[in-house]
Amino acid sequence: MQKWLISAVVLTLTAGTNPAASGDRRPEPDGGPSIANYVCLLEGGSRWIDEAPAHKQPAFDEHKAYWQAKSDSGVLVTHGVFADSAGGAMVTVQAKSPAEARDVVAGDPWVQAGVVRAGSPRPLIAPIGRETAASHRAGSTAPPSTRVLSKEVTVHATLKEVWDCWTTSEGIASFFTADSRIELRVGGPYELYMMSEPDAVGRGSEGCKVLSYVPYEMLSFEWSFPPKVPTLRYSRAKTHVVLRFEDQGDGIIRVRFDQLGWREGEDWDQGFAYFDAAWDMVLENLKKRFQGEER
């Protein structure tokens, strides 16, 4: 198979404590962790189709939606195609650690489908700024944040049962909210209606969409804010949620939850605190949904 360099992924990371492992470093203004830059090269994988354009490759729509979601959340800073004959492209993203950087690349549906292969991140000396164009989207002029709201729960059920709970209206009604509109397709609605009476935005997560999914493995969708965080709700600011599903065997499914796309500011702190408690209740309800059922 023809080796094809698709992109150089420049990763802006919150470095660890080992300078040798993180390349050249510069201190942050507040004295906190420094920023390191990494490059990750991708090349054609076992499912890459030689001579076919990018949009004709397997899982292209999912790949495109994945990076669009990263752009909307502020994780993707910029991207572009190299103009010389070597080809390839570049994307710039933000992450908290080298491990998270690898997760960002590994989350690309093209990587997961074997369309491309990813190498290990390599450190760069040249620093890049943390401000992104995405921070000026409607509803937020605050700079992006590298924080992630992460949770995890184990459920005694089958993988299909847990997947259906998150990807169908019937499943959502069994542990979350009775009324919803979910269409499992990239760009399809992912709207959950939690309020009996609408406000200026609606009764819940109107306007939120499915961003990407890998059946029985990963689901990503947009998520809006509740009336308790009015500045973000009425400006229609959004984060995005990534769920990963793992069959642990013996009828146990592990669900890993990450909410990304946070920005800095008191309203975003308020939203983070709200969802930190709210998602605990949602995941506990998911767990209770299957308690006592015979497998």
Quickly count: other Cβ atoms within 10 Å of residue 34's Cβ.
Answer: 17
Q: What is the pLDDT of residue 191?
A: 97
Q: How far apart are CA 187 and CA 200, in angstroms?
A: 23
Confidence band (pLDDT; 50, 70, 90) for 103?
confident
Confidence band (pLDDT; 50, 70, 90) for 285?
very high
* Cβ(94)–Cβ(75) below 8 Å: yes
Q: What is the pLDDT of residue 40?
A: 67
- What is Dmax (Cα atoms) for the chain? 62
For range 20-33, the mean pLDDT: 38
Residue 118 reports pLDDT greater than 70: yes
Q: What is the pLDDT of residue 51?
A: 81
CATH no. for 149-289:
3.30.530.20
* Cβ(113)–Cβ(58) below 8 Å: yes
Q: How far apart are CA 276 and CA 182, in angstroms?
A: 24
Residue range 162-214, pLDDT digits in tens: 999 999 999 999 999 999 999 999 899 999 999 999 998 899 999 999 998 99
Which of the pair, 77 or 134, is modelled with greater confidence? Answer: 77
Domain ranges of the chain: 5-127, 149-289
Percent of the chain at pLDDT above 90?
45
Q: What is the pLDDT of residue 86?
A: 54
Domain 5-127, CATH class in plain words: alpha beta
For range 122-127, the mean pLDDT: 46
Which of the pair, 133 or 151, is modelled with greater confidence? Answer: 151
For range 13-37, the mean pLDDT: 38
